[in-house]
Chains A and B, each alone.
Chain A
């Protein structure tokens, strides 16, 4: 309360000083530039000054503002006020000028060529055939297009959250999506294309892929087709990653929609098409259910750009005009159904299947955690000993290792191992990368746990071992290590539980573990809530018994190791 009174005094003093000197910078400077300023802005300005003075205390009570404040400071205050008022004016103006309705459309521009992607020549601009098509559609609808960059896997949920009004991203109508969103009429007929390495003679069609791993984009017609045919596949976030892994032999083939295949793979000398394009589906625009008026508007616009030939021009420009489009456009123009029926894939989501796939992901999570922990536990010991008692060069090396792996995020390390190492010719599959990456990372942490434990063993234990004739190695192995292990066990358990959860970063390199499974299943089904609870239960079901086992082990070990430290001098 006292502070407030003081502040008010300050304010009064400020104003009175100003008035006395006829130097109200706020009014006279504003009036000189913008004469019809309202008293409201004056008030806001005063409040601002008041806050400004509150934020930057200068002393106590009414002495805070010395009458001889420098001119510079007064000018500065004036400039701040002017900028503040102009900001407010601008925001008022901009909120009033919503002359034209917008068409906010969402798509994933990362690796999104030729649909919509960042212009390599100008990173601030997006280009692509769908970008041009949306421009044409918006023009036909009399709206202003506004692009909202988003993520492919979460497009549907982002649409439902009203982040944008339509999805235009090579979206195929599927049964499960139809339960969540509405579709416009089709605007493009796509086919799928199988791509393999140029020197691969084993694969000529999808039927040759039964026992191989095929890469594709997650939650697409292609991925669902592979699922239906029981072909093992790995889903990617973008075509670049899939084709790169194909080149690196991490996978044997890639199935992709023809537009993406044409852009990313057709001109790659190390890849080739395996067989002709197959399957036929359509791209539609996704809308929120209930946006009936917008759907009618969009359908009309699609028809109009097909009829007036502007879509054909765009597709021709992007080299996407082909036989299938000719048929499709003819059928739209003559209002007859297309000759070849479109296939519609359905995701086969059901809870039994989801639980089966989650269990598989859980098993991989456990194996990943166990494997990395073994690497960490084994590698941590030499690191700890080296840093603790090694020659100078080894100490320096171990310290650098530890600081590097502790000081950089494990996600960055994994990305580096997965995407960076292939540049120098070391291409590991995703699971191995995750295993090695997490192992190396946690080895740094384990080494510190060991080092602390080793240093906690009293020197007398060494001396007692030595005077019994033991060599340093024997003393370390038989006397020091078992005692250190006991001390290290609780923090190691802690690290293991944390490693267990950290396996979820492996989703960044497309390893099918629990987090990846959650993301993909939830995106395919829209069951974010229920699947989220299920996945959490899976994690808990695994980590709780683990902590329990560790606790039992600790108790068993510590029951013996209650060494009484006696103050031997007391009785002397």
Chain B
């Protein structure tokens, strides 16, 4: 589903990602675990093109991102990659001026150019699956943190991504909520899910904890070091 090969990222002279390789199979969950500041978020941001990679390759369903491309070609590929990768940010970044429904149909209607009716019908299905159908007409500001997260997941899934990236998905949740999130992600498992977290999501499937330069998704844990 997604292959990452020798991925490097530096900010100036500071190298954050020092050659990471892994592969995630379809319908699996990969957890990325490390201390704060170790580069988990940077890794996820490289996977959806919010950071420009400094070396190595990221490929997903025929779109390959590499460091030495021309600016326009890189931009083109990033946009293609983003259609295959959905992201749920740590702080969700819902659009405060749109209702929950508006948040979900915004990209399908304006990026995928789906009809508004079909987009809405699908949005209601997604909201039902995250248990927030009744909140469709509410504005994000009136929702709790956990509800906002579920809306953000629904918003990302509405674009039918092949891969879902979640940045610190458990940081806002108490243990009970974490359990229900796990259930939700299991339900979403036609997708590949990649998580980054300071602690593992309990009883997760797929290749578990992570480390530096893991050969095929099986990583060793190297907490406390600024490198995987």
Contacts and interface: CB of A to CB of B under 8 A. Distances in A.
A461 interface: yes
A470 interface: yes
A486 B97 contact: yes
A468 B155 contact: yes
For A469, A478, A562, A564, which residue has the most chain B Cβ atoms within 10 angstroms? A469
Contacts of B143: 564
A563 B107 contact: no
Interface in A144-198: none
A560 B48 CA distance: 30
Contacts of A482: 97
Nearest to A565: B91
B155 A471 contact: no
Contact of A569 (B99, B156, B171): B171
B89 interface: yes
B198 A461 contact: no
Given A483-B96, A563-B96, A572 B50 contact: no
B145 A478 contact: no
Contacts of A423: none
B106 A478 contact: yes
Contact of B89 (A464, A470, A479, A571): A464
Interface in B115-154: 139-143, 145, 148
Contact of B93 (A463, A560, A564): A463
A468 B159 contact: yes
A471 B171 contact: no
Interface in A453-493: 458, 460-461, 463-464, 466-471, 474, 478-479, 482-483, 486
Interface size classification for chain B: 35 or more
B79 interface: yes
Given A568-B91, A572-B168, A563 B48 contact: no
B96 A561 contact: yes
Contact of A467 (B50, B99, B148, B174): B50
Contacts of B90: 568
A572 B198 contact: yes
A469 B96 contact: no
Contacts of A461: 93, 95
Given A467-B82, A563-B141, A572 B95 contact: no
Contacts of A566: 91, 145, 148, 172
Q: Give chain B's interface secondary structure class.
A: loop
Nearest to A562: B141
A571 B107 contact: no
Contact of B83 (A469, A483, A563, A571): A469
A513 to B, nearest CB: 37
B86 to A, nearest CB: 7
Contacts of A471: 79
Interface string B152-174: 00011001000000001011111
B48 A467 contact: yes
Interface residues of A, number: 27
- Of A470, A563, A566, A569, most buried by chain B (CB within 10 Å of CB) is A563
Interface in A547-572: 560-564, 566, 568-569, 571-572
Contacts of A479: 95, 106
B111 A469 contact: yes
A466 B82 contact: yes
The interface centre, meaning the residue of A470, A478, A483, A486 with most chain B CB atoms within 10 A of its CB, is A478
A161 B149 CA distance: 75
A568 B141 CA distance: 15
B141 A469 contact: no
B29 interface: no
A562 B91 CA distance: 16
A486 B92 CA distance: 21
A560 B110 contact: no
A460 B93 contact: yes
A569 B106 CA distance: 28
Nearest to B112: A469
A571 B89 CA distance: 16
19 contacts: A460-B89, A461-B93, A461-B95, A464-B92, A466-B49, A466-B50, A468-B86, A468-B156, A478-B110, A479-B106, A483-B95, A561-B96, A561-B141, A564-B143, A566-B172, A568-B91, A568-B172, A571-B172, A571-B173
Interface of A: 458, 460-461, 463-464, 466-471, 474, 478-479, 482-483, 486, 560-564, 566, 568-569, 571-572
Given A464-B92, A563-B140, 16 more contacts: A461-B93, A461-B95, A467-B48, A467-B87, A468-B156, A469-B82, A469-B83, A470-B107, A471-B79, A474-B111, A478-B106, A560-B141, A561-B96, A563-B141, A571-B173, A572-B170
